[in-house]
């Protein structure tokens, strides 16, 4: 039996557009992608797929907020939500990184321009603000885990054993190492 409000085969939940509007100020993700995320959460719940939700690179927390809102709408409030991020803005780009939006510009130039003493203004959202944003959904705080540090350094030791869904958010510059992508895939398959 389908959970209340879950989208049908290939259909969009009627609640997904409401989630899009609710999280718009907290995400760089497109409306279409947020709807897809809500549908994925519905699918996971409908099909009783076990595991936690992981997001790597969270900015203000909008995507995990959409997942939390969807879980709550479906009567689920005990899934663990993991948010991996530096919570200090964009990490320093390497010499091979290129901007997806402006290929002729060097990301290192922007990063250097936005550098402050304790963070980088580029895509900066402090941990406390992200936690407050996620808390505004009403999802239980004890099931929300914010992991501070470079994702490729923190996820091997701090990722949950069983992952129902993970998002590795591209920054528009650096591509995460293959080992990070491999780690997430292996963890997901072992958790199922």
List, as one string, the DSSP characters of 86-117.
-SSSSPPP-TT---SS-TTS-HHHHHHHHB-S
Model confidence, pTM:
0.82
Classified by CATH at the fold level, domain 51-62+79-191 comes out as: Rossmann fold (3.40.50)
The pLDDT of 123-133, averaged and rounded, is 97
User: Residue 53: what are its φ and ψ, rounded to 5°?
Assistant: -110, 130
30-74 pLDDT, tens digit per residue, is 999 999 999 999 999 999 999 999 999 999 999 999 999 999 999
The pLDDT of 105-132, averaged and rounded, is 94
Contact yes or no for 45/4 (Cβ under 8 A): no
Distance of CA 159 to the CA centre of its chain: 13
**Maximum average pLDDT range among 13-27, 70-84, 92-106, 178-192:** 70-84
pLDDT at 12 over 60: no
Amino acid 103: pLDDT: 80
Residue written as tokens 């080992």? Answer: 179
Residue written as tokens 């402090």? Answer: 126
Between 46 and 187, name the one with better pLDDT: 46
- Name the token pair of 145: 């885990």
The pLDDT of 114-122, averaged and rounded, is 95
Looking at residue 81, what DSSP letter applies? E
Per-residue pLDDT band for 17 (boundaries 50, 70, 90) equals confident
pLDDT at 138 over 80: yes
Question: Three-state SS for 148?
Answer: strand
Short-list 84, 98, 102, 41, CA closest to 66 = 41
Contact yes or no for 52/71 (Cβ under 8 A): no
Question: Three-state SS for 151?
Answer: helix
Q: Give the whole-angstrom CA distance, residue 140 versus residue 66.
A: 14
Short-list 138, 145, 134, 153, CA closest to 65 = 134
C-beta neighbour count of 15 within 10 angstroms: 19
Looking at residue 156, what DSSP letter applies? H
- Name the token pair of 95: 């010499």
């Amino acid at each position: 039996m389908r959970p209340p409000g879950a989208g049908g085969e290939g259909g969009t939940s009627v609640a997904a557009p409401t989630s899009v509007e609710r999280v718009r100020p907290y995400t760089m993700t497109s409306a279409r992608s947020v709807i897809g995320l809500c549908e994925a959460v519905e699918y996971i719940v409908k099909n009783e797929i076990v595991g936690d939700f992981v997001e790597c690179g969270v900015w203000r927390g909008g995507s995990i907020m959409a997942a939390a809102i969807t879980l709550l709408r479906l009567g689920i409030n005990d899934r663990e939500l993991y948010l991996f991020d530096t919570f200090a803005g964009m990490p320093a780009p390497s010499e091979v990184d290129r901007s997806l939006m402006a290929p002729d510009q060097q990301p290192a130039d922007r990063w250097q321009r936005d550098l402050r003493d304790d963070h980088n203004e580029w895509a900066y959202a402090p941990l406390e603000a992200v936690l407050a944003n996620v808390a505004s959904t009403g999802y239980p705080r004890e099931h929300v885990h914010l992991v501070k540090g470079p994702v490729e350094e923190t996820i091997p030791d701090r990722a949950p054993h069983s992952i129902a869904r993970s998002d590795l958010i591209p920054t528009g510059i650096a591509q995460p190492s293959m080992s990070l992508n491999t780690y997430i895939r292996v963890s997901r398959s072992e958790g199922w």
